[in-house]
Amino acid sequence: MSVLVVGSVAFDSVKTPYGEAEEAIGGSATYFAAAASFFTPVDIVAVVGTDFPRESLQFLSERHVDLSGLEVADGRTFRWAGEYQLNMNDRETLDTQLNVLADFHPNLADRHREQPFVFLANIDPELQASVLKQTVHPDLVICDTMDFWISGKRDALLETMTQVDVLIINDSEARDLVEDHNLARAANQILGLGPRAVVIKRGEHGATLITNDTYFSVPAFPVLSVMDPTGAGDSFAGGFVGYLAKSKDTSDIGLKNAMVHGSVMASFNVEDFSVRRLETLTPHEIDHRYDRFIEMITL
Ligand code: AMP
């Protein structure tokens, strides 16, 4: 089964203790599609400005990512800038320029409306809701967000949440969303907002899946050289959702297996700046790391 993603396609300027990238290709939909495309066909719905080099996404087209929903609008592409501290877990957003994203009104083609899996990547929750309105009874809706929208568009986000099956969010954002510092309580409160499952990402400390019946944690794969964590959350989501769409198993067991695939994809993404590592990655490398991951978490 294939996946529809709505999210950002961006120019990212990133500084880490190991280097920096100026106006490199990024965005939540880009990272997601780059990871998910190893498992399933992906349709992107997003907007870029006239300054965006479309050929930089050629590697996605070669992997069955449909870019017909990538609109080119008059103006500048969305830009984001961030800086990481030495521990690579703490990140400061230095700049967010919505540019063409500010006036984006996603208009779904028939093929997009009928996709069984919908991933609402990090983007304005009003756009997430407008996409959902145009879809026809998807089997599974998965959603991501970030502090920018939690503080800026809280009510719209809570409204979107009522239609979401799985929320993927990081620990500090989960605490902010329901205003509770205790993560276990915060996760339970999120389940009360609509989703039947929540995945809480904790950077280098791994991720936890919580449903009414399941509490399942995976570590992060121990990467010896983390260059740039940008997009780790989106590539986690790409592995997670891509695997679910491929396996069609959305039971708690399926979600647990998806957690491992998400962690594997995120671990590759952090090995280089921008989408470089996901561009050169091969299915063989993914299979090999998956096997090592399973060994790592099995007695
Ligand atoms: P992650 O590191 O997985 O949280 O995602 C980082 C990506 O999110 C970057 O490539 C940014 O371009 C994108 N991004 C950052 N802020 C926003 C925002 N407010 N809306 C949409 N995308 C964003």
List pLDDT tens digits, range 28-64.
999 999 999 999 999 999 999 999 999 999 999 999 8
Q: What pTM did the predictor assign? A: 0.97
CATH number of the CATH domain containing 27: 3.40.1190.20
- pLDDT greater than 90 at residue 87: no
List pLDDT tens digits, range 144-172.
999 999 999 999 999 999 999 999 999 99
Q: Tell the residue nearest (CA) to atom 9 of ligand 1.
A: 27
Q: Tell the residue nearest (CA) to atom 16 of ligand 1.
A: 80
Q: Does the beta carbon of 242 sit less than 6 angstroms from any atom of ligand 1?
A: no
In which domain, by residue range, is 66 found? 3-297
Q: How far is the CA of 116 from the centre of ligand 1 (A)?
A: 24
Please give, one letter per residue, the 3-state secondary structure of the chain.
CCEEEECCCEEEEEEECCEEEEEEEECHHHHHHHHHCCCCCEEEEEEEECCCCHHHHHHHHCCCEEEEEEEEECCCCCEEEEEECCCCCCEEEEEEECHHHHHCCCCCCHHHHCCCEEEECCCCHHHHHHHHHHCCCCCEEEEECCHHHHHHCHHHHHHHHCCCCEEEEEHHHHHHHHCCCCHHHHHHHHHCCCCCEEEEECHHHCEEEEECCCEEEECCCCCCCCCCCCCHHHHHHHHHHHHHHHHCCCCHHHHHHHHHHHHHHHHHHCCCCCCHHHHHCCHHHHHHHHHHHHHHHCC
Q: Does the beta carbon of 233 sit less than 6 angstroms from any atom of ligand 1?
A: yes
Q: Tell the residue nearest (CA) to atom 15 of ligand 1.
A: 80
Task: Categorize the per-residue pLDDT at 294 as very low, low, confident or very high, splitting at 50, 70 and 90.
Answer: very high
Q: How many structural domains are present in the chain?
A: 1
Task: Categorize the per-residue pLDDT at 86 as very low, low, confident or very high, splitting at 50, 70 and 90.
Answer: confident
List pLDDT tens digits, range 244-270.
999 999 999 999 999 999 999 999 999
